[in-house]
Amino acid sequence: MTKLTRRQALSATVAFGGVSMAGGLLGSPRPAAASTEITAVEWGGDVVDAMKQIEAKQNQVKVNWVLHQGGSGAILPKIKASWPHPEYDYVSGWEGSFNGMVKEDWLVPVTTQTVPNLADIPQKIIVKNGKGEWAAVPRAIGGIYCAYRKDTSPIEIKSIDDLFDTRLKGKICWPGPTQAMMLPLVALALHGGGNENNMEPGWALMKKLAQSGNIGRVGVTDTDFSTSLTSGETSVGYYSEPQLTAVAKSFPVVRLTKQEGVPTFLYQSGFAILKNRPNLEATLAFVNFCISPEMSTLYAEVAGEAPLNVKAKTPDALKHLAFTPQEFDKYVYVPDFNVVLSQQDAWSKRWESEIAPLL
């Protein structure tokens, strides 16, 4: 997929996402047999709470909830070990984990015939497999952007250059080589005049940042960042939405999603439907139900990720993730995810050999 089409897709999404068009038809046109049991892998905390509320609003499918254990990567070796007989009907994930599953050819392709509500999802955002078929069902978007705790940060941050300010010594929590697809590194590259295909300016700035002593902690798990900010250890971060939301629940957080020169990245969360499972029909019907306008709205409110269904309503708390098309072009950078994802291994190894010794 080209950079341009993806950008247009995302901009369409967020532009329409702010408009309330809720009230569409509920349920699936192809109801499954009464109370089929499916097994689904979801994130813990707010996400599974949201999904349980959605489950309670229908009675065709009963879901056995399994939680991701420490990031969405831990489930991959398990599926690989049991393949071709997976235990799960769908696995929630994002670009980072979909990529591997698509390459391993584990996923059932989806269409508007099998999941009719996909018609209301901007099509260009949908992850495709090698044959160009849709491989996963997106349900919401979150962001990766710069943010800081207003009450503890020694300075107001307005640009990438501010991250190098000496008053921030030890005050930054930076995502480590397995977090946030290393997109904050791409942000540094953009700031230095490069991009995901030309990362040298990014590495140069990353080295400078590491040497400045401003990085107090490198976050390596999902809870690392929020704990570091809530405990007062650090005050500034370039991180992803769920972690920032967790901090924002208790503290004033300034999110620089609309700050020129501080790029914001968007990622999707969604459903990957596995092959070789007995209740495919029921799973597809449930997934379709989940991305209906009303359920998308409910999910956004409880889970704190902006809805993708153009007929759903974006909650006020997620205003920072609603962009007009003009704002989108100005603030959001949509990298070529194929490049970003295929470089993860190389970037993380380079981080270990060049950045980690400087910290």
Q: Is 64 in the site for another protein (CB under 8 A)?
A: yes
Shortest Å distance, C-beta 166 to another protein:
13
Shortest Å distance, C-beta 81 to another protein:
4
Residue 254, beta-bridge partner list: 148
C-alpha–C-alpha distance, residues 342 and 92, integer Å: 21
Which CB sits closer to another protein, 144 or 246?
Answer: 246
Site string for another protein, 23-62 (x = CB under 8 A): ----------------x---xxxxx---------------
Interacting residues with another protein between 242 and 271 (CB under 8 A) = 242-243, 245-247, 249-250
- Strand 236-240 and strand 137-149: the pairing is antiparallel
Shortest Å distance, C-beta 29 to another protein:
29
Choice from 158, 169, 319, 330 touching another protein (CB under 8 A): 169
Choice from 26, 104, 150, 275 touching another protein (CB under 8 A): 104
C-alpha–C-alpha distance, residues 309 and 121, integer Å: 5
C-alpha–C-alpha distance, residues 1 and 94, integer Å: 17
* Residue 174, SS3 per DSSP: strand
CA atoms within 13 A on the CB side of 162: 18
* Residue 151, SS3 per DSSP: coil
Choice from 227, 268, 292, 296 touching another protein (CB under 8 A): 227
Q: Other C-beta atoms within 10 Å of 317: how many?
A: 14
Choice from 73, 109, 201, 315 touching another protein (CB under 8 A): 73
Which CB sits closer to another protein, 241 or 294?
Answer: 241
Q: Is 230 in the site for another protein (CB under 8 A)?
A: yes
Q: Is 349 in the site for another protein (CB under 8 A)?
A: yes
Q: Is 84 in the site for another protein (CB under 8 A)?
A: no
- 49 contacts 302 by C-beta, under 8 angstroms: yes
**CA distances (Å), origin 229, targets 43, 206, 243, 317, 318:** 21, 21, 10, 20, 20
